[in-house]
Each structure stands twice: as structure tokens, then as C-alpha cells.
Structure 1
């Protein structure tokens, strides 16, 4: 999982952006992304947010480590200093990512204190400078992820102006989380649930900005909902927590969203595909739970799912835990569940 410059050509992320898995702090690490890639070969995967100061000032380039099998995979950067973001974007391109995304939507306290994330929607000129510097620094696509507005902003006034600014900066692909971010009074968790969703506004923005590739994010819980947004004219759909808590839904994504032939792969096949990766991680001194924590929801809603989760939760973190824990969890599942 080196961060040395890649010799292989990185894929074009544009087709994959039809369906993407959102950047989620503490969740979409490299183990999660490798696991998700076993479920879908085509959806675009995002890293959890990596801050530009950590990369440039802190030298934490290990945060960019990923397995080439994760492609197509994009990195999301957080920051507000144009030259620092440009340097971070260069590091990400050298590491082999196929896209660099700027976080203009995260409402967490850590993000607010660093003057980046959703608070940047109040400083469009600064955002323009940041994106221009990033685009100048790299040849891979630079994209943005924003909210429909922040605090007392009126989304139907602010969002069109913000998207117009992005378009003038040369950004051609934007993901819009269809909720406001309230930086005072709501926790990050509440900001994902309390502000009402405004899908019609985001659909209107697609009609108003036909030259922008717009993806919609927020509250999408199924591939059927994703299909409905695409049918309504959106270019892409980004799924977040649903893809994490019920990752099995991604098994149908290549056929249902990308119209590829059905893979026929089962959840049991996915577990078997993870074995060599897990073994290599253990051999390198890693812990089983660092990977299996992302696999807890694989059998969500199916007979035996509770036993699967319980066994992995109780035993994977123990010292010396290995693939036998995975075997034990599989043994608790009915054959019909394994075959689905």
C-alpha cells in the first residue's frame, strides 16, 4: 500500500460517478474501500477526508495509502489555504488517485475550527482561489462537494450563485448534499438528519446548469432511489450511510445502475474474496477488527445476520484473532443466506 507515484494509468472517474460511495470520516478508510470494491466493480469510491495541513505540514502521506484494486478511487481534501491545497493535490495525484475533491460540506467541529468544510460556503471567493490553485497543480479532475447552504443562507439564492462560481472556476463536477448545514446548534450527526432534504432544489440546479455534472447526496437509502434521481435528470448519485450499514446493496449496483451483466457474485463470494487481503493484513501485524468492522452489515436483513455481527464484534478485536473468527461467523449463517 505504497504512496510512491504509480506507473499505471489511473482510470477516468467520470463514468463511475454515476454512483459513488460518500467520503465518511472514520468509516471509508482503505480497508472499507477494498471491501466495497469486492461488491461493486464500477462505483466511484471516496476516501474519508484528509486534511491538507496534515499532508503538507505534518508529512502524513501515509494517509494517502491505498490498494490499486480500489480504483476508481478519489481522495477528498479538507483545507482553506490555496497553496497548501495545491501541494496536497499534487501529493494525491502522485499517490495515484483519479480525482481530487474539495470538502465544502462537512459541518464537524474539527472542520469549523480549521476554517474549512461547510463554513467555506460563506467565502466563495476563497473557495474559487483554492480550486483554481488545485486545478493548476494537477492534471486529474478536481471536483467539489458542498451543501445547499449554511446557517441563515437562503439555499435558492445561495446555491445557484455558488454553482455559478464553481463553473467559472473551471469545475465541471459537483456533488450537492441536499441539506443545509447548521454550524451552530446542531452536532455533525444531527446535521446529517435534522435539516430537511430539498431534492427538488438540487434537481432544479441540474436544469439550470446543464454543463455541470451534478451528483445528489443525502438520505439515499437504496438503488431504487438512486435510479429515481438519475431518471429525474441527475448525472450521479452519492450514497453514504446506507452503503456502509447495508453494503450488500452494492452487489446489484453494477447491473442496476451501470447496466453491466449481472455478476452472480454472492455475499459468501465477497467474504472469500476478502480472505487474501485479510491474511496479508494480519501477516503485516494488523488486527482483524480493523477490517471486519466494515463487514458487520454484509448480511443485513437476512437470517443469521445478528449472529454474524455478534461473533465478529465479540471476537475480532481479541489478541491473535485470525481467519478462524471469520469461519465461525460464517458457520452461524443459514445456507440460504450465504447463497444470496
Structure 2
């Protein structure tokens, strides 16, 4: 065993003994490394071979123009011809170029109908260049489309399951252009926290420096950490990243409450605290019921049946609801227990949390989605 491997093993055992297993995370799970990223690709193409479920050429002029251009490039002259096919559809093709993808490797492609095509089932995508944000072509897509839905149509009913106007081609795009990024030859690299926090950035830098034994990591801001390759390090930047990405660090979480008023979902961080406050939640129930009475005329009388409206309104106030006292600086568990003791639902709890915040008794940030 080499000296560096022995140091890594001892340091990993110390981290496991000191840090709680339930709260520590690996560095690779909480940061992004500079340059190691995906790139989005997009292209415009044609799908052929559809069984009458393609675009209406009169309603989708771009499909007609694309079809004419494709046939003319293949030496077919259709000038002045009235095209009326329903077996062609214009589509948008998207793909994700993974980091360090080499020329000749294959990636998945997603196809989505652009016109009024009813389904892409059975279709084949023609050769489609996929471009990046810089306008350069990085991949070429082509092949039969696999869709996850279908449409069955009869004389009086139509059944549609899933989305038949969108599909995928597994390994349907070939990478033609590589992104030049030499990670191994870099001497400095930035680490970006996925959840920016000053304390977490400092903890990561300290953990890395303790492992290497030199100040090679420096926190720059809540998001970034600069990593410098040591002069006498036995390896390159890839070796250094491999050594540090498995280290465990305990992220520091801000006191935050996230509220989704549409669905009534409430998520609270463990650092949420509430000062001493008394809460009362009223429960007013108003019930309105209609019991119309029917009035019938006497036998052989010259009259009509009439309905007389009768409305009953009942107002009920739950007098058993009393003030609930939350002691000062209570943790999250006691806060949830105190709110549940009031017997309130999620939507009433949202109003209560906002009222506590307005009273200045909630030491947390409320984010409404």
C-alpha cells in the first residue's frame, strides 16, 4: 500500500468516527466540478413513414417547404406539384451531450412533433444535424422512433394513452464534434456548491486541506471553492479530484420554510426556531341546507303545485379551541407537535406560519412557491 493510499484510508476512518453518518455527505454529491457539465443540443428534422398520422401540409407550411427542399437535394424536381401526403411530420430533435464525449460515441435523442401530426408511431427520423448554443453541429441523429403512447380511433370514439406525438431514439445520435477541455492538465479548478452556503464552503476547504496537508483549497464565496494542484502531488488534477470527492462533509442548512400554496405542501428545515408565542386557531362552521316544501292544491281545485323554499342556516363555533403555547426557541419536532395539537390542516398551518413570521417570532425564511 502506498503512503497516499494509507493516509486516505486513515482519514476516511477518522471521518466515519467523528461525523454522524446520517448528516454527512460526500463532496461529489454536494458540489459541481468546473468543466464537467452537460451541453444541450437541438435540431429540426423530418419524420417519414407515418401511417396517415403526419402533418397536414396545408396547415403546416414549414413541413411542406422542408419536404420540397429535401426532395430537391436528392434530385427530385416537384416544382408546381400539389403535395397532399399525410405520412410526413416536422419535428424538433433534442439531445444532451455528456461531458468528455468522444467522436463516434452515441447518445439518446428525443423527438417532438412540431405541427399537427396525430402520432409519430412507426416513423423514422431522417438525418438531422444537432447544434449547440454556438451554432456548431455536434451530433447527427437518425433512426426509427419508439413512442410511449398510442392512439386508437373508431367511428364514434378515440382512445389515447400517453403522448404519441413524442418519442425517443436510444443511441440514435452520433457525436461528430468533441468539446476541447483538458481536465488533467489544469493546475487550478473551481468547485461550485449546489446549495450555496458559507459554512459548508469553509468546511469543504478545511476537509480537503486536512487530507492533503497543504492549503490547496480556498473558499471564495458561498458558491465557489478554488482548488490548486500541489507542486509535489504525485498525480494530476484527475487524481486530486478522485482523492477528495469521496470525503464526507456535513452541510450546514439554512433555517427555511418552503410553502406551496397550490398543493398545501409545507417543508421545514431542521434549523427552524420559534420564539415564545401563543397561537389560537378558530374553527367556524357554517352549514346551509335547503328543505323546500311542496304545496298541493285540493282535489278538483283550479290550482297548481308550488314549491316553497325553506333554508336552514346553522353556525357552529368550536369553543374548545384554546390558545396553544409554544415555548421559546423550540426545535422543529416541538414546533410540528405544537401545530398538530391545534388540529389544523396544511392550509391553516400555512396561515399560522405566516402570522408567526409577521409577529417576528419565527427565526426562519419563508419561501412561497
Shared fold (TM-score greater than 0.5)? no
TM-score, reference length from structure 2: 0.20
Higher helix proportion (structure 1 or 2) = 1
Bigger radius of gyration: 2
Higher strand proportion (structure 1 or 2) = 2
TM-score, reference length from structure 1: 0.21
